Amino acid sequence: MATGDNPSTPADRLDDVRTVMERAAKKAGRSLSDVTLIAISKTHGAEAIQPVIAAGQRVFGENRVQEAQEKWPALKAETPDIELHLVGQLQSNKADDAVALFDAIHSVDRPSLVKALAKAFAKTDRRPALYVQVNIGAEEQKGGCAIEVLPTLLASARDKGLEITGLMCIPPNGLEPAPYFALLAKLAAENGVQKLSMGMSSDYETAIMCGATHVRVGTALFGARG
Protein backbone atom coordinates (compact mmCIF):
# COMPACT_ATOMS: atom_id res chain seq x y z
CA MET A 1 0.00 0.00 0.00
CA ALA A 2 1.26 3.44 -0.90
CA THR A 3 2.29 5.70 1.95
CA GLY A 4 3.69 9.16 2.36
CA ASP A 5 7.14 7.60 2.88
CA ASN A 6 7.27 6.14 -0.64
CA PRO A 7 9.45 7.63 -3.44
CA SER A 8 10.66 11.12 -2.68
CA THR A 9 9.85 13.06 -5.85
CA PRO A 10 6.29 14.12 -6.67
CA ALA A 11 6.46 12.33 -10.03
CA ASP A 12 7.55 9.09 -8.36
CA ARG A 13 4.86 9.34 -5.69
CA LEU A 14 2.22 10.02 -8.34
CA ASP A 15 3.41 7.04 -10.38
CA ASP A 16 3.32 4.88 -7.26
CA VAL A 17 -0.28 5.83 -6.47
CA ARG A 18 -1.35 5.27 -10.07
CA THR A 19 0.30 1.85 -10.05
CA VAL A 20 -1.69 0.88 -6.96
CA MET A 21 -4.85 2.22 -8.57
CA GLU A 22 -4.25 0.27 -11.76
CA ARG A 23 -3.62 -2.94 -9.81
CA ALA A 24 -6.83 -2.50 -7.84
CA ALA A 25 -8.85 -1.72 -10.95
CA LYS A 26 -7.46 -4.80 -12.69
CA LYS A 27 -8.38 -7.00 -9.71
CA ALA A 28 -11.92 -5.65 -9.87
CA GLY A 29 -12.20 -6.13 -13.62
CA ARG A 30 -12.36 -2.38 -14.12
CA SER A 31 -10.44 0.13 -16.23
CA LEU A 32 -8.14 2.63 -14.56
CA SER A 33 -9.78 5.30 -16.71
CA ASP A 34 -12.99 4.75 -14.71
CA VAL A 35 -11.33 6.05 -11.52
CA THR A 36 -10.37 9.68 -10.91
CA LEU A 37 -7.52 10.47 -8.55
CA ILE A 38 -8.21 13.57 -6.44
CA ALA A 39 -4.94 14.83 -4.97
CA ILE A 40 -5.85 16.25 -1.56
CA SER A 41 -3.74 19.37 -1.21
CA LYS A 42 -5.29 20.79 1.97
CA THR A 43 -2.78 22.51 4.26
CA HIS A 44 -0.13 22.38 1.51
CA GLY A 45 1.06 25.58 -0.13
CA ALA A 46 1.60 26.36 -3.79
CA GLU A 47 5.26 25.34 -3.55
CA ALA A 48 4.22 21.78 -2.67
CA ILE A 49 1.37 21.65 -5.18
CA GLN A 50 3.20 22.96 -8.25
CA PRO A 51 5.55 19.93 -8.58
CA VAL A 52 2.52 17.60 -8.47
CA ILE A 53 0.88 19.64 -11.24
CA ALA A 54 4.16 19.48 -13.19
CA ALA A 55 4.11 15.69 -12.80
CA GLY A 56 0.79 15.59 -14.63
CA GLN A 57 -1.88 15.63 -11.92
CA ARG A 58 -4.87 17.83 -12.78
CA VAL A 59 -7.56 17.04 -10.18
CA PHE A 60 -7.11 18.41 -6.66
CA GLY A 61 -9.16 18.53 -3.48
CA GLU A 62 -9.41 21.06 -0.66
CA ASN A 63 -11.20 21.02 2.69
CA ARG A 64 -11.88 24.71 3.23
CA VAL A 65 -13.21 27.39 0.92
CA GLN A 66 -11.07 30.17 2.38
CA GLU A 67 -7.82 28.21 2.09
CA ALA A 68 -8.63 27.32 -1.51
CA GLN A 69 -9.42 30.95 -2.33
CA GLU A 70 -5.98 31.97 -1.10
CA LYS A 71 -3.94 29.64 -3.31
CA TRP A 72 -5.93 28.22 -6.21
CA PRO A 73 -6.88 31.22 -8.39
CA ALA A 74 -3.19 31.83 -9.14
CA LEU A 75 -2.45 28.14 -9.63
CA LYS A 76 -5.43 27.73 -11.97
CA ALA A 77 -4.33 30.80 -13.93
CA GLU A 78 -1.03 29.05 -14.59
CA THR A 79 -2.70 25.71 -15.42
CA PRO A 80 -6.25 26.38 -16.65
CA ASP A 81 -7.27 22.73 -16.98
CA ILE A 82 -7.07 22.13 -13.22
CA GLU A 83 -10.22 20.59 -11.73
CA LEU A 84 -10.84 21.56 -8.12
CA HIS A 85 -13.00 19.57 -5.68
CA LEU A 86 -14.26 20.65 -2.25
CA VAL A 87 -14.12 17.57 -0.02
CA GLY A 88 -14.57 19.22 3.39
CA GLN A 89 -17.67 20.50 5.14
CA LEU A 90 -19.36 23.51 3.55
CA GLN A 91 -21.11 26.23 5.51
CA SER A 92 -24.29 27.43 3.85
CA ASN A 93 -23.07 31.03 3.90
CA LYS A 94 -20.06 29.97 1.77
CA ALA A 95 -22.19 28.38 -0.96
CA ASP A 96 -21.72 31.27 -3.42
CA ASP A 97 -17.94 31.23 -2.95
CA ALA A 98 -17.79 27.44 -3.33
CA VAL A 99 -19.82 27.45 -6.53
CA ALA A 100 -17.59 30.19 -7.96
CA LEU A 101 -14.33 28.34 -7.31
CA PHE A 102 -14.92 24.58 -7.25
CA ASP A 103 -15.74 22.16 -10.05
CA ALA A 104 -17.23 19.62 -7.63
CA ILE A 105 -18.59 19.70 -4.07
CA HIS A 106 -18.48 16.40 -2.17
CA SER A 107 -20.11 17.44 1.12
CA VAL A 108 -23.79 18.16 0.48
CA ASP A 109 -25.34 16.79 3.67
CA ARG A 110 -28.40 18.80 4.84
CA PRO A 111 -31.48 20.59 3.55
CA SER A 112 -30.18 24.07 4.44
CA LEU A 113 -27.11 23.52 2.26
CA VAL A 114 -29.26 22.20 -0.60
CA LYS A 115 -31.29 25.41 -0.39
CA ALA A 116 -28.16 27.60 -0.30
CA LEU A 117 -26.63 25.80 -3.29
CA ALA A 118 -29.84 26.14 -5.28
CA LYS A 119 -29.77 29.90 -4.64
CA ALA A 120 -26.09 30.06 -5.59
CA PHE A 121 -26.75 28.16 -8.82
CA ALA A 122 -29.50 30.61 -9.71
CA LYS A 123 -26.97 33.46 -9.69
CA THR A 124 -24.43 31.93 -12.10
CA ASP A 125 -24.03 29.57 -15.02
CA ARG A 126 -21.44 27.52 -13.14
CA ARG A 127 -22.64 24.03 -12.21
CA PRO A 128 -20.19 22.15 -9.98
CA ALA A 129 -20.84 18.42 -9.71
CA LEU A 130 -22.59 17.68 -6.41
CA TYR A 131 -22.06 14.68 -4.13
CA VAL A 132 -24.11 13.89 -1.05
CA GLN A 133 -21.91 12.96 1.90
CA VAL A 134 -23.34 10.02 3.83
CA ASN A 135 -22.43 9.43 7.47
CA ILE A 136 -21.84 5.79 6.61
CA GLY A 137 -20.76 4.74 10.11
CA ALA A 138 -23.39 6.79 11.99
CA GLU A 139 -20.64 8.65 13.86
CA GLU A 140 -21.76 11.69 15.83
CA GLN A 141 -18.50 13.58 15.23
CA LYS A 142 -18.61 13.28 11.46
CA GLY A 143 -20.47 15.23 8.84
CA GLY A 144 -22.80 13.64 6.35
CA CYS A 145 -26.47 12.83 6.24
CA ALA A 146 -27.86 9.81 8.04
CA ILE A 147 -28.46 6.80 5.84
CA GLU A 148 -32.18 6.80 6.57
CA VAL A 149 -32.65 10.39 5.37
CA LEU A 150 -30.62 10.02 2.18
CA PRO A 151 -33.64 9.44 -0.11
CA THR A 152 -35.37 12.52 1.30
CA LEU A 153 -32.29 14.71 0.86
CA LEU A 154 -31.80 13.50 -2.71
CA ALA A 155 -35.44 14.22 -3.48
CA SER A 156 -35.14 17.69 -1.99
CA ALA A 157 -32.09 18.44 -4.13
CA ARG A 158 -33.79 17.23 -7.29
CA ASP A 159 -36.93 19.22 -6.47
CA LYS A 160 -34.77 22.34 -6.37
CA GLY A 161 -33.21 21.54 -9.73
CA LEU A 162 -29.90 20.25 -8.38
CA GLU A 163 -28.43 17.20 -10.09
CA ILE A 164 -26.66 14.91 -7.60
CA THR A 165 -23.70 13.28 -9.31
CA GLY A 166 -22.64 10.87 -6.58
CA LEU A 167 -22.28 9.88 -2.96
CA MET A 168 -19.28 10.37 -0.68
CA CYS A 169 -18.27 8.72 2.59
CA ILE A 170 -15.49 8.43 5.15
CA PRO A 171 -15.59 5.05 6.94
CA PRO A 172 -14.97 4.84 10.70
CA ASN A 173 -11.29 5.07 11.53
CA GLY A 174 -9.63 1.81 12.50
CA LEU A 175 -12.31 -0.48 11.11
CA GLU A 176 -12.24 -2.58 7.96
CA PRO A 177 -13.51 -0.14 5.29
CA ALA A 178 -14.77 -2.61 2.68
CA PRO A 179 -18.24 -3.17 4.24
CA TYR A 180 -18.78 0.59 4.42
CA PHE A 181 -17.66 1.09 0.83
CA ALA A 182 -19.97 -1.73 -0.26
CA LEU A 183 -22.85 -0.12 1.62
CA LEU A 184 -22.26 3.23 -0.09
CA ALA A 185 -22.25 1.48 -3.47
CA LYS A 186 -25.53 -0.22 -2.56
CA LEU A 187 -27.10 3.10 -1.52
CA ALA A 188 -25.97 4.71 -4.77
CA ALA A 189 -27.52 1.92 -6.82
CA GLU A 190 -30.78 2.06 -4.87
CA ASN A 191 -31.06 5.81 -5.34
CA GLY A 192 -30.01 6.07 -8.97
CA VAL A 193 -26.70 7.83 -8.29
CA GLN A 194 -23.73 7.03 -10.51
CA LYS A 195 -20.51 8.22 -8.84
CA LEU A 196 -18.80 7.06 -5.64
CA SER A 197 -16.28 9.31 -3.86
CA MET A 198 -14.59 7.00 -1.35
CA GLY A 199 -11.13 5.88 -0.34
CA MET A 200 -8.15 7.81 1.03
CA SER A 201 -4.41 7.14 1.30
CA SER A 202 -4.86 4.21 3.69
CA ASP A 203 -7.64 2.42 1.83
CA TYR A 204 -8.03 3.68 -1.75
CA GLU A 205 -7.05 0.29 -3.19
CA THR A 206 -9.93 -1.33 -1.32
CA ALA A 207 -12.26 1.48 -2.37
CA ILE A 208 -11.47 0.95 -6.04
CA MET A 209 -12.21 -2.75 -5.72
CA CYS A 210 -15.56 -1.78 -4.15
CA GLY A 211 -16.49 0.51 -7.04
CA ALA A 212 -15.03 3.94 -6.23
CA THR A 213 -15.10 6.35 -9.15
CA HIS A 214 -13.15 9.01 -7.22
CA VAL A 215 -10.44 8.41 -4.61
CA ARG A 216 -9.16 11.20 -2.36
CA VAL A 217 -5.42 10.74 -1.79
CA GLY A 218 -3.30 13.23 0.14
CA THR A 219 -0.61 11.74 2.35
CA ALA A 220 0.56 9.22 -0.26
CA LEU A 221 1.24 12.13 -2.63
CA PHE A 222 2.27 15.01 -0.39
CA GLY A 223 3.53 13.31 2.76
CA ALA A 224 2.35 14.44 6.20
CA ARG A 225 0.13 17.50 6.32
CA GLY A 226 1.87 20.85 6.32
Give the tens place of pLDDT for each residue, 166-196: 999 999 999 999 999 999 999 999 999 999 9
**162 has a pLDDT exceeding 80:** yes
CA 34 to chain centre: 15
Residue 4 lies in a domain: no
Q: How confident is the model at residue 225 (pLDDT cuts 50, 70, 90)?
A: low
- Express each pLDDT in 68-83 by its tens digit: 999 999 999 999 999 9
The CATH number linked to 58 is: 3.20.20.10
Domain count, the chain: 1
Q: How confident is the model at residue 223 (pLDDT cuts 50, 70, 90)?
A: confident
Residue 5 lies in a domain: no
Residue 90 lies in a domain: yes
User: On the CB side of 101, how many CA atoms lie within 13 Å of its CA?
Assistant: 24
Tell me if residue 205 falls in helix, strand or coil. helix
Specify the pLDDT at position 6.
45
Residue 3 lies in a domain: no
Of 33, 38, 198, 156, the residue nearest 104 (C-alpha): 38
Residue 102 lies in a domain: yes
**7 has a pLDDT exceeding 70:** no
Specify the pLDDT at position 5.
47
**43 has a pLDDT exceeding 60:** yes
| Percent of the chain residues past pLDDT 70, beyond the cut | 96
- Express each pLDDT in 76-127 by its tens digit: 999 999 999 999 999 999 999 999 999 999 999 999 999 999 999 999 999 9
- Tell me, what DSSP letter sits at residue 134? B
Q: How confident is the model at residue 28 (pLDDT cuts 50, 70, 90)?
A: very high
When computed from its CA atoms, the radius of gyration of the chain, rounded to whole angstroms, is 17
Q: Which domain holds residue 84?
A: 10-221
